[in-house]
Amino acid sequence: MVDIDEIDKKILLELRKNGRITFTDLSKKLGLSVASIKNRVDKLERLGAIRGYSALVEPAFLEEYLLALIELELLADDPQAEMVLQEIGTLENVLGIYKKTGEFQVMIRANFRNTDELKSFLRLLSQRYFRKNLRRWRVTIILDVIKDNGVQISKGSQRR
């Protein structure tokens, strides 16, 4: 891991809370010049400490009312596992793919409009990968989101 100092860490924490904070506001909060903040943010981007910027969008505005966590059990020693996970990552519904410990080695986080769309997604996984790359999966439906990506979601989300 590349060494960064405490000021860099404070910048990262502020950006994680609010990715739209201005350099001016950051400079006031941390007691540094705007130029110093800009140089540090540029450095953090180059180092890969800042991987990008995005908006935390309420899924209901995209008519996505169903958040699912899909755990995958991969076939042992599948040489194509990485390629399969990369392919799955290109599917529109997929928000994230995480390798993990336990009985199921992979967790997919995905949004869907409804259960029919989720079933279509699972059918696609079955047709493309079941028995070739996947042994089985388990689906968990999220009923409400309290905190997401480090942001407290007030009064729960708009999921139905």
Question: What mean pLDDT comes out for the span 51-67?
Answer: 84
> Tokens 């890969």 correspond to what residue?
48
| Cα Rg, the chain, nearest whole Å | 20
pLDDT of amino acid 160: 47
**How sure is the predictor about 122, in pLDDT bands with cuts at 50, 70 and 90?**
very high
C-alpha distance from residue 69 to each of 73, 99, 111, 145 (Å) = 13, 13, 9, 13
> Tokens 């993990």 correspond to what residue?
100
pLDDT of amino acid 145: 86
Q: Between 149 and 31, where is the model more confident? A: 31
What are the extents of the domains in the chain?
A: 6-47, 59-151
Percent of the chain whose pLDDT exceeds 70: 95
Average pLDDT, the chain: 90
Question: pLDDT tens digits for 66-117?
Answer: 999 999 999 887 888 999 999 999 999 999 999 999 999 999 999 999 999 9
Which residues share a beta bridge with 13? none
102-121 core/surface letters (b: 16 or more CB in 10 A; e: else): eebbbbbebbbeeeebbeeb
pLDDT at 159 over 60: no
Provide the angle, in degrees to the nearest 10, between the axes of the packed helices 34-47 and 23-30.
110
What whole-number distance in Å separates Cα of residue 135 and Cα of residue 126?
10
Q: Between 32 and 150, where is the model more confident? A: 32
| Domain 59-151 -> CATH class | alpha beta
List the CATH code of the domain at 6-47. Answer: 1.10.10.10
41 close to 35: Cβ distance less than 8 angstroms? no
Total Cβ atoms within 10 A of residue 56: 10
Question: What mean pLDDT comes out for the span 45-69?
Answer: 88
Q: pTM of the full predicted structure?
A: 0.75
> How, if at all, do strands 94-99 and 66-74 pair?
unpaired
